[in-house]
Chains A and B, each alone.
Chain A
Amino acid sequence: MNTSGFESKNKSEHGIDETYKPEIAHNIETAGREITRMPALDAVDRPVDHAEEDEIRGFEENFRVISPGRMVAKRFFRSKLSIAGMIMVIFVFLFAFVGPFITDIFLGYQETEVHRIERVSDLVTKADYVGADGQEYMFYDKSQTVIFYKAPLSSSHPLGTDTNGFDILVRLMYGGRISLVIAFIVIFLQTLFGVILGGLAGYFGGWVDQLVMRIVDIFACLPGLPILLILSATIASIESIPPEHRIYYLMAFLTLMGWTGVARLIRGQILTLREQEFMLAAETTGIRTSRKIFKHLVPNAIPQLIVTATLGLGGIILYESTLSYLGIGVPFPKAAWGSMIALADPSKGQEILANYPNMWVPAGVLIIITVLGFSFVGDGLRDAFDPKAKR
């Protein structure tokens, strides 16, 4: 069917060729512009129809393109830094979420399990006294006693145990788990609030915008850390709040302090997007406002959201660690990287800081790895999502 149609078309076309070829040349060359248009048009008019049908496959379909998702991935993995960040983040995740299962198999320790390691230690007491004979005597009393001590690095405690007799490795894993969970919950809440409030401000403008943005301004001018300290200390001092609930309050405070950035970003994003012609087009088709916001605006702001959320994760982990270090974050005896570093607090003596680096260095290193990892990944994503990025 197809073939025969094609053949007959060719035949007829070839028939015209001889007469048609000189005709158009002649027309354009000599005759004025009054008559050129019509005859020339008649002669070449036939193929227009199937052109409009668009059945013809252009050469632009000779090649296939890369899907947008893969394009982003490609740009992301082009940067060595983002690969490094990715590896760091994956490592921390595996460490915190898979790690405990492995230690459970091999060591069998729990987060708050106290390891009382006994050691018989020589206790030597020395005393000088003047004997009845007037001579000076030195007196040594040698006895043996049992003490509990901090386990050194060994196969049963790969990173040793800490002052409280907890296994450091296991606690690092649980601490990471809680840090990451807090960070993700908080960033989710921050984004949710930010999107809703920023979206309202950006889309409706006017007094809604004024109200929301002034609230944002107020929050933005509060000094974050002191406020967090005060709030956390207040919660810690209220006795009716059980310590294990303190963590939820902590998340709420972190959300409260951080949503303003997202709100600002979304508002700006929506202000630019709503001036785009596709939003005007959506307006002219008369679709519902909710559809305009959630089907047209928000999907287009998602890349930016992912980037800010990723970059924000590191910040939250830092805040949480700081609070835990100060003892008003994740409550004891739950593990947190911040509180583990706090063991080395020099105000409680130099001994641990100087002699037991295995207690605080790993927690510090993990914080650095996590925060850096999220930053690298966030930067990589930002470059990957940016359509203007050349490479």
Chain B
Amino acid sequence: MAVRLGRRRKQLKGVDDHEYLTLREERAIAKSNAKIMKEFERKKRRENVDPSEYLTEMRDPNNVVEFDNLHTYFFTDVGTTRAVNGVSFDVPTGKTIGIVGESGCGKSVTSLSLMQLVQAPQGQIVEGSIRYKASDGKVYDIPKVPMNEMLHIRGSEIAMIFQEPMTSLNPVFRIGRQLDEVVLLHIPGSTDESAKKRSIEMLKTVGIADSERVYNSYPHQLSGGMRQRVMIAMALICDPRLIIADEPTTALDVTIQAQILDLLRSIKDRINGSIMLITHDLGVIAEMADHVVVMYAGRIIEEGTVREIFHSPKHPYTIGLMLSKPRVDQEAKRLYSIPGQVPNPINMPDYCYFYNRCNRAMPVCRGEYPDLIPFSDTHRAACLLYDEEALAKQAALGTSSQATNAPEPAVVGQAEADLIVTDVDNTDEGPADVVATEVSDTVDRDEVE
């Protein structure tokens, strides 16, 4: 109780810490969200849309999918989350694209945008285009495709494999029935018999030896690895041109993961399709991907071929990410760690999103958000460290007007050399300490009570 009182007291004193949204702000957000969401939903539900509105041309005919300046936002109760904020990359035919990043970086939302499966009405593709080349040669601009047309593209042309194979399968139907259903739905002219034949064939393809038994089992009778194989079989049924694998091995054990990765690799060669592999595991990416996209807070911060990314990473985040993962084949006394927290992309600043966690941030980084700087035909990174202009500007800044033009040390605080600070009454902290003594007051009272 005393602690709660202390909190209220803190508010009265006007110490603006991590306080909650006021009612008025909250209402304003809700009002504007409702308006925006209504508008987008209306657009999506249109019927009889002229195909010319959503048919377009590919920039490069070798690509299956081209993401072009994609923005997918979530209009949440606390503000607009820019989950995907200007993402552009290509998925070439027959290649595996790895998208890597931490939670909340927008990697899954990117793939869901491609399927138009972003949770509506809060989640909306606000801007940009996703060009998808279907098997019949038509090129669709996914964000503009109306709902009824989208049903044909989903499932038959693009297949998805999810992280948790248990929840992706319906527990009350036999595996066989669920597979047959997909065949009957997406392959025209198939009969019950041909569907069964195709299902069993697919189960064999994904390396299930006793496919007849699995065909007649319920999902709960199978192990996690087996279920993931079934999911892959289901994805393969319609010869998809693109498989989106969203953390396909995260829920599996290491030895099972090795099996599934082997399988995915062998399948890609067989179907001549592309794979979009989404994962947080750099090891999986290194093994599977041809081309890697590194995302952070809704933006691509680096992309390149797998060798470029792993052998000469450019962005401090990519470097930090690689150094912070312990490796079995290497000894390290102490891990490198990226400071701070993984951001939730709400109200992001205009400058580099990684600024507050970056060990090489410069005052000039607080300028504009950096563009992707090319290092080779395929390798690009968004960091001012590689921008000659910015470096020159920084050098000028560094020598001349330091005292007057000093930027606010808004995020980088005092670097304490020692991790363990035993001196609690450290007084050069400013506001933080005010709060600290306040809280402690209330605690004392708590004890007295």
A residues contacting B by CB (< 8 A) are 1-3, 5-7, 9-11, 13-14, 17, 20-21, 24-25, 28-29, 33-34, 36-38, 40-41, 44-67, 70-71, 74, 390
Contacts and interface: CB of A to CB of B under 8 A. Distances in A.
Interface stretch (B39-47, B88-96, B334-342): B334-342
10 tightest CB-CB pairs across the interface, nearest first? A51-B339, A55-B413, A59-B343, A58-B341, A6-B409, A47-B359, A63-B346, A50-B415, A67-B20, A62-B347
A57 B415 contact: no
Interface in B348-364: 348-349, 353, 356-357, 359-360, 362-363
Nearest to A29: B311
A56 B411 contact: yes
Contacts of A41: 323, 332, 334, 336
Interface stretch (B181-189, B201-209, B256-264, B312-320): B312-320
Q: Which of A6, A9, A24, A40 has the most CB of B within 10 A?
A: A6
Main secondary structure of the interface of A (DSSP, over half): helix
Interface residues of B, number: 68
Nearest to B394: A14
B417 interface: yes
B23 interface: yes
Contacts of B363: 10
A59 B353 contact: yes
B423 to A, nearest CB: 13
Contacts of A61: 18
Nearest to B398: A14
Given A37-B332, A58-B340, A74 B348 contact: no
B203 to A, nearest CB: 34
A378 B202 CA distance: 50
A10 B362 contact: yes
B131 to A, nearest CB: 31
A6 B312 contact: no
A57 B406 CA distance: 19
A308 B330 CA distance: 57
A76 to B, nearest CB: 14
Given A64-B19, A74-B26, A56 B77 contact: no
A62 B26 contact: no
Contact of A63 (B79, B329, B336, B356): B79
A33 B330 contact: yes
B78 interface: yes
B12 interface: no
15 contacts: A7-B406, A20-B360, A21-B385, A38-B332, A45-B336, A50-B412, A50-B414, A51-B338, A52-B339, A55-B416, A58-B357, A59-B343, A63-B78, A63-B79, A71-B77
Contacts of B319: 24, 40, 44
